[in-house]
Structure 1
Amino acid sequence: MAFEKNLVVLALFIVLGTLASQATSRTLSEASFAAKHEQWMTKYDRVYEDNAEKERRFAIFKKNLQFVEKFNSEGNKTYKLGLNEHSDLSDEEFLRQRTGYKRATESTSSANISFRYKDLSPTDVPPSIDWREKGAVTPIKNQLRCGCCWAFSAVAAVEGINQIQTGELISLSEQQLLDCTSSYGNKGCDGGFMTSSFQYIQQNGGIATEENYPYQGAQGICSANQPAVQITGYEQVPANSEEDLLKAVSRQPVSIIIDGSGAEFMNYQSGVFSPTDCGTKTTHAVTVVGYGMTEDGIKYWLLKNQWGESWGENGYMKILRDAGAPEGVCGLAQYASYPTA
């Protein structure tokens, strides 16, 4: 009887010890997450208005960190995820604040149906190109908490063709498009599209420099400014054709639409992006500034984003090219356009 009693006591001690160990482990894990959050706050100069806001942001940060760590631990992927300056935003907040593409209506998207690069032969298209190396890409910008990706995509394409034509790289004004294109169907920080932006630049006589019309991260009042760069119009790449997109990008940076709504896209850090959670929703606008192939033989597009240099490969993404679907990975070949000079 005494022996059985001792066994019960021993079992109780084991259970209590296990529970205590688990509690200690959870406490240590929570402390580790908290320490990483503090380090992240310091790195990105993040300050919260009160403890309640900090606790809420910590919960989101912890969820994002766990997602990143789990993804990277699984391995066997062509890309890695990582923390960035947006890691305390929920998926919904991120989509609302950091994207902002709204598909054009028929009346505002009627481009010249010609596609000037359609007759390029395979020998006319180099196996790789990086417009950064050719001096046609300005440094990475940051749209901040304003859903105006469309303005940055349009401006990057205009900056590119202007440099190709003149040899001079000029950083141009996204703020002007944000302030002045409401009559063209754009809605400031609530979304817009590139083709109407190209129309505005053409019909307005050009676009000002970023220096003379700097970005504010919010829509303001349209002000008159001296145009620095003009375009003659724009054209669209035939839809759902990576072959035609390749022809266009071989000649100039091209504005595209992509599904930027997935958690993997939000947390992309490096490698060739070939996601498992990416659809074809037209949520985000970026600029294709090149293409190439890795040493392992993986074809990719080189995308310039506007989420700051902490996201991706210093602000850029390599994304799988010629994956098989006509619309491309994340729908990148659905709606592509470029300015003409």
Structure 2
Amino acid sequence: MTQFIFCVCVILCLSSYSAMSQTFNESSVAEIYEEWMIQYERSYANDIEKEKRLKIFKENLEYIEKFNNNANKNYKLGLNQFSDLTKDEFIASYTGLNTYFNISRQTSFSSNIEPSKVYHIPRSIDWREKGAVTNVRTQGACGSCWASAGLGAVEGYIKIKTGKLVSFSVQELVDCTKIGCDGAYVIDGYKYIIANHGIATEESYPYTEVVGTCQHNKTRTTQISRYITVPPNDEQQLLRAVSKQPVATHISVNGDWSAYKEGVFTGPCGTNLIHAVTIVGYGATKEGIRYWVIKNSWGPNWGEGGFMRIQRGISDKRGLCGMAMWPTYPY
């Protein structure tokens, strides 16, 4: 039976935790932990479980301190709502491996493959600045990243085409496909919109984080005719596509993703595609580090306002975290 891509959930940075240059003793860790529990409204079934989570929290706190004190890193980590989970628990609980469909062995995924053409590519672009990116979503415990990522690309395309920025309904895709919160592929969302001649707005069909009854009576306000697959494993072609509109892609994540706070993420993270995001721009730092800008679905307090900068132009043709393996966009 096909197992689909799951998604990772919302992550926040603890405001009271700003610097970690000290050596933590038991009392200071306990104090930070209690503050963290209050901020994230965390409670446990019993004291044994609480003590277990405190130990993990302390290990994560020390890991973040050590990581952030490494001057060779281009990004920073911070505490978040997953700080009482081990990395293995985080990966096991909030991601899922598709063992049936081996993406790395595919050369194409639809009949609509973007042809390679000579095209002027701007040095940088940010679709947020052009008003083509809606607010960051919070997927919660529902594995709906595939829907959020695909709709991010659809919303950008519709804004560029019509001049109107509208947030479309993730919940409709969750309720009205057989996939729901169990994870899927971005193209499943495109196919649904094409087959049903559009999709409802977020306002008329709001997100609930659980699978509900499909509401077919909602007014459909947009339409796409097809979707395009960017030539796999070609960051230059991906750059070309993103210069024209936001693009959805599948991506690999590791334990450090859960605590990402700021900067250009440089890996390592492998190519096990278990998450989906929307690429909404690209650029370079003043130091010359080239990056993609991705919109995630873990809430606006994760990362850089809900976004991440991730390194581009690496030697691996698949891109960092498999960014270039399976990017698609609506048309």
TM-score class normalised by the smaller sequence = 0.7 to 0.9
Q: Which of residues 244, 247, 263 is equivalent to 1:254?
A: 247
- Partner secondary structure for residue 251 of structure 1: coil
Per-residue CA deviations over 1:4-53 (Å, capped at 9, x if unaligned) read: xxxxxxxxxxxxxxxxxxxxxx9x71111111111222223333344344
Root mean square deviation, CA, Å = 2.1
Q: Which of residues 223, 228, 251 is equivalent to 2:221?
A: 228
| Counterpart-to-counterpart distance in 2, 1:65 and 1:146 | 27
| Counterpart-to-counterpart distance in 2, 1:101 and 1:161 | 29
Deviation at 1:94, TM superposition (A): 2.8
Deviation at 1:259, TM superposition (A): 0.8
Kindly tell me: are residues 249 and 311 of structure 1, through their superposed partners in 2, closer, same or farther at Cα, counting changes over 3 Å?
Answer: same
Q: How many residues align?
A: 303
Deviation at 1:245, TM superposition (A): 0.3
The aligned residue for residue 105 of structure 2 is none
| Counterpart-to-counterpart distance in 2, 1:241 and 1:53 | 47
1:242 is the counterpart of 2:208:
no
The aligned residue for residue 130 of structure 1 is 126
1:300 is the counterpart of 2:291:
yes
Deviation at 1:318, TM superposition (A): 0.5
Give the structure-1-normalised TM-score: 0.83
- Partner secondary structure for residue 74 of structure 1: coil
Q: Which of residues 256, 270, 278 is equivalent to 2:262?
A: 270
- Partner secondary structure for residue 84 of structure 2: coil
Query: Unaligned stretches of 5+ in structure 2?
Result: 1-22, 103-107
Per-residue CA deviations over 1:270-327 (Å, capped at 9, x if unaligned) read: 1111123x11101110110000011111110001111112321111111111011100
- Partner secondary structure for residue 76 of structure 2: strand
The aligned residue for residue 161 of structure 1 is 157
Larger mean Cα displacement after TM superposition, 326-335 or 58-67:
58-67
The answer as to whether partners of 1:101 and 1:148 remain within 8 angstroms in 2 is no
Q: Which of residues 314, 318, 321 is equivalent to 1:330?
A: 321
Kindly tell me: are residues 259 and 85 of structure 1, through their superposed partners in 2, closer, same or farther at Cα, counting changes over 3 Å?
Answer: same
- Partner secondary structure for residue 82 of structure 2: coil
Q: Which of residues 209, 213, 232 is equivalent to 2:205?
A: 213
Q: Which has the higher contact order (CA 8 A, sep 6+)?
A: 2
The aligned residue for residue 311 of structure 2 is 320
Kindly tell me: are residues 110 and 272 of structure 1, through their superposed partners in 2, closer, same or farther at Cα, counting changes over 3 Å?
Answer: closer
Structure ID, larger Rg = 1
The answer as to whether partners of 2:150 and 2:186 remain within 8 angstroms in 1 is yes
Per-residue CA deviations over 1:37-81 (Å, capped at 9, x if unaligned) read: 112222233333443443333233222222211111222111111
Higher share of residues assigned helix: 1
Q: Which of residues 148, 152, 159 is equivalent to 1:152?
A: 148
| Counterpart-to-counterpart distance in 2, 1:196 and 1:104 | 16
The answer as to whether partners of 2:133 and 2:280 remain within 8 angstroms in 1 is yes
Per-residue CA deviations over 1:102-122 (Å, capped at 9, x if unaligned) read: 58859xx84233316x3242x
Q: Which of residues 194, 200, 219 is equivalent to 1:202?
A: 194
| Counterpart-to-counterpart distance in 1, 2:155 and 2:96 | 21
Deviation at 1:212, TM superposition (A): 1.0
Q: Identity of aligned pairs, percent?
A: 47
Kindly tell me: are residues 120 and 215 of structure 1, through their superposed partners in 2, closer, same or farther at Cα, counting changes over 3 Å?
Answer: farther
The one-letter code sitting in structure 2 at the alignment partner of 1:149 is: C
| Counterpart-to-counterpart distance in 2, 1:92 and 1:206 | 39
